Structures are given as structure tokens and as C-alpha cells.
Amino acid sequence: MRILELKQLDAFLRRRRVALDRAEAVARPIIDDVRKRGDRAVEEYAHKFDNYDGPLRLGPVEMRRAWQAVDASLRRALRESARNIEKFARWQRPKSWMRAVSPGVRAGQIVVPLASAGCYAPGGRFPLPSTVLMTAIPARVAGVERVAVACPRGPLIVLAAAHAARAESLYPVGGVQAIAAMAYGTRKIARAERIVGPGNIYVTAAKKIVAAETGIDFIAGPTEIVLVAEKGNAGHIAADMMAQAEHDPAAVAILLTPSRALARAVAAQIGPQWTNCAAVLTRSLDEAMEVSNRIAPEHLWLADPRLLPRVTNAGSIFLGDHSPVAAGDYASGPNHTLPTAGAARLRGGLSVNDFLKVVTVQQLTPRGLARLAATVVELARAEGLEHHARSIEARFK
């Protein structure tokens, strides 16, 4: 870990920016091949990249067997995590409503779930059953009828998590071929209306390519954490930084602090081998918050909860010494599928809303339409849309 001046921050962040164009060049022909040859292409790429030659779809029977095969302690952990994720997702779900805009004019919205969702769970360096829970459970809470999970080779622990999340199917394939198959559909892998979940740079590139024809959550890069503190437990801060940095060599963990003493104490806990960790010295906490908002980090940890009103950009926020990011990664309830690389300027993390359509509804009585008629006719003719105006007038002849 290094201690940097603020002017060195951009250079440190630049090291984690991986251009998608090279990954897209690799992903595009695979996507085209899967689209053209379907299951045969998926099977060939699964063998080539993951040394997998098994079935392309596993169902409830296989998931139930996996659930029974894992340790009872793991089942308890999966149940508790699933319960909290589901509870939080239910709180997030928007409601349908109708209200009177004016006499005789009622308007509102209905909330409609997507028909299908494809949830991608990485399986390269580490299998991530927590990602299965974080993606499939909000889809189920939304009311999505068909929820499928894709994960390379379908490890036992991932199958067990898919059972806990009530997924319908698990496709034991990964990478670009899994994204392409869920985007366009094959004989054995059903098309998904929205594909969600993190992955490596090639999965990210594939999601970007298929986004023109199917829904995705967002383009996500390597994980990141920003911590803002003037004082605190150096051991706890160091532990949280290393927890995120261990995900990927391209991940970044940054402590923003006006305290050189705290920066040195944290650096002493981490050591020089963690080159993706850095403490950045700022002139004040105010400047630290300004820098954090410019970074728009995936995870933001604040030593002092009173700083919360100053946050404008973050994927998810963790307040105080007893709120480590790892708690949110697994079990506290909010989703851990979060925007990275500055995308938190535009949106928050995955939620039940990603699997819903909010459809507006309008109902006018004769009296209500009469009250609006002059306004609509005037505006329609101002825009040169004569038949819009006549569609109103026809009802009063």
C-alpha cells in the first residue's frame, strides 16, 4: 500500500481502467457464433474455456440435491442471507396506484414484472453463491416467472444457492457464451428479457454488445471501495481495504484522509504487496468528500455517519466502524451488485426495480375530457398535429 498526495490519485485510478474495445473484439465473434449455431457453439466454448462437457441445463432436482449435500451450517447461512435480501427487496418494490389529477381525470401506474431474467454468477477465481442470491431473489420478489442462473461448471455451492433463491434453472456455462445464449436463446437455454450480474472483462463486453437487443443492469468493471476517515481503528480500515482488494488485481481500495498519522497506521497494517491499495492525503474532510463524490465509488465507507448528507455519488454506503462492506456483500439485505468505474453518478445498485415495468394508466370521464379539450386542441394545433386535435373534437360533435 502506498501513501499518495491528491495530485497522484488520477494516475493510481488510471491503472484499473481496462479498455473494453479489446475485450469486445474477442467477445463479438463468440456472440455471433452462439447466435448462429446455438447449443452446439455453447457446448464447444464451454469445453474450450471451462473444460465442461456436461448438460447445459440443470433443474430443480439437481439444485435440491446440491442443497441437501452442502453442510448444514452453509444452509443456515444461505437461509439467513436470503431472508434479509428478500425483506429488503420487498421494501423497495414500488406500488400500483390511481389518483384524481382533476375532476373527471384519473391517472396512475401499474407495476408489471418482466417475464424472464438471466442472473450471471462468476465462477472463475471464486464461485460466488452470494451473487446468485443477490440477483435471483429480487427477480423473484418482483414476480418474474422464469428466473435462471448461469455460472461456469455449476459448482455445488452455487447450485445450493440457486435452490435457496428459488431459481427455475441453472446453466453451468459461463463467459461470453453464457451471455449470448441468454440474450438470444438456444434450444436448451431460454432467452432472458434482462441479464444481470457481474463478471470479468469479457462478460462485461458481451453484456455491452447484447444490450442493443436485451435488457442489462449496467456495465460493471473491477470492484472498488473508498473509505473516508479522519480517525478510526487502523486495523479495521486495513481489513476492509484488503477485503475488497482481494477480489481482483484490478480492484482498488482508497482511503481518503486528512490525517497522515492514520494513513501511516493503515499502511503499516496492509504492507507494500497490496499495490491496489492506497491512502490519499486531503486537506480536510470536506475535500475528502468532494473527491469521493468525483470518484463515485461502488462502495463508500464513512467513519463518521454525520458525513452522510454530503454524499451525492455512491453505489452503496456503509456507516461507522461496525458496518464493514463484507456485511453488505453477504447478509445485511441491500444488494451487492453495484455500479463501478463512476457509473454511480448515474444510478444505484441492482434492485427489485430492475425486474419491473412501471406502466402508466389514464381514465377520463366525459366531463374530465371536456375540461381538458381546449388545452389539448390548442397544443396539438400548435405542433401541427391536426388529427390529434380532431380526435378530441370528434367526441363533442
Distance separating alpha carbons of residues 94 and 358, to the nearest angstrom: 8
Q: At what angle do helices 156-164 and 129-142 cross, to 10 degrees?
A: 20
- Give the full edge-to-edge strand order of the sheet including 169-171: 169-171, 146-150, 116-120, 194-196, 215-216
Cell of residue 336, nine digits: 451487492
Distance separating alpha carbons of residues 180 and 42, to the nearest angstrom: 9
As a dihedral over the C-alpha atoms of residue 87, residue 89, residue 91, residue 97, rounded to 10 degrees, the angle is -140
CA nearest to 188, candidates 135, 131, 148 = 148
Q: Residues 42, 119, 329, CA angle at the centre, nearest 5°?
A: 130
Buried b (16+ CB within 10 A) or exposed e, 369-395: eeeeeeeebeebeeeeeeeebeebeee
Q: Do β-strands 169-171 and 146-150 pair in parallel, antiparallel, or remain unpaired?
A: parallel
Distance separating alpha carbons of residues 15 and 11, to the nearest angstrom: 7
Cell of residue 216, nine digits: 442489462
Amino acid at 201: I
Q: Residue 148 burial by CB count (10 A; 0-12/13-18/19+): exposed, middle or buried?
A: buried
Number of Cβ within 10 Å of residue 218's Cβ equals 24
Catalytic residues: 298-299
